[in-house]
Structure 1
Amino acid sequence: MEKNVALIALFAALIAVLGLIPKITLGFGVPITAQSLGIMLAGAVLGSKRGALAVLLFLLLVAVGLPLLAGGRGGLGVFAGPTAGFLFSWPVAAWLTGFIVEKWRQPPLALSVFVAAILGGIVLSYAMGIVGLSLALGKSLTESTSLMLVFIPGDLIKAAIAGALTSALAKARPSSVLSRA
């Protein structure tokens, strides 16, 4: 129990630290950040339940006003802005990523995590994020989708990094990858 709480807190902190990497904000208000890598890693390493809880803890800290999002943003206002759909997707994305890694054991771990991170961290996040962006900006879903296409190459790189890091961690400390325990 204590180990789980510590790991959940550790991954919430990791997501926060990844927000310190300078963001690049595009003209329509959605920044390119490294925090989505943390979402992918939380699910891949901790598994579905613990990964989602780590993200929920992170979002709770953001909601109470801690400036943990990229660019030092925090508070309830971020949950009504252009990125709100992505923020709401993050716990579900971590859960789905972890669930796929837990259940899909045939391929090498790096490949399993890569595919899981694409499905959870990209496809699901984009689906919810595009809806939120559309509502916040008053644009159609097609217009919002076209705005998001620029992010796909970077997110695919993050998914590959998540696969490589999780695989390396499993080789160095097999018991630390709880999604495969």
Structure 2
Amino acid sequence: MKNLSPLLLILGIALSGCSDDPANIEAPYAGDIQNPYTGKVSVALTSGQSSSDRIKLRNIFPNKETRIIAIVQLENATPGMKVTGEWARLGTLQPNAPGQTPEGILIGKADFTLMEDSINPETSIGSGKLQLTSTDTLPPDSYLLRVFIDGTLVRTSGFVLIPRPKQKAVNTPPAVNY
């Protein structure tokens, strides 16, 4: 019974703080937490290199690229929204690459904050640019851009870098018109 007394005392103290009174129930935090973004997010990828005035959008790049640009558009945009991009190498072709994880190898990060002048006042569509720049060519592999708005993942965009052909095919048969 001596060993049971301290246990009952602790239990009594703990239960004395409990009550069915709603005033005693802890309310959820109602501070300045923003609701997660739920609008449409569009991502277009390019290397930014073009021989004409048009930008060529694509998701397959030769691995000679040292720069990949993501053009991001957000519906219902408001000034101050922070857009972050995390660029990851997925290791599809080289699964044993140093630092490889199930989420990939983080190879770059970029962000921008939407300003009033980057939002169309008629459509409320905001846009900006995320850029991955490397000092060397990126290895052939699958890659993924994760786009976050104010810390919440809202979009992913996959792309691949393919090896450059060593030479053009010789004796390619001519195109046949039917």
Q: Sort the TM-score into its range (normalised by shorter chain).
A: under 0.3
Q: Greater share of helix residues, 1 or 2?
A: 1
Q: TM-score, normalised by structure 1?
A: 0.27
Q: Whose radius of gyration is greater, 1 or 2?
A: 2
Q: TM-score, normalised by structure 2?
A: 0.27
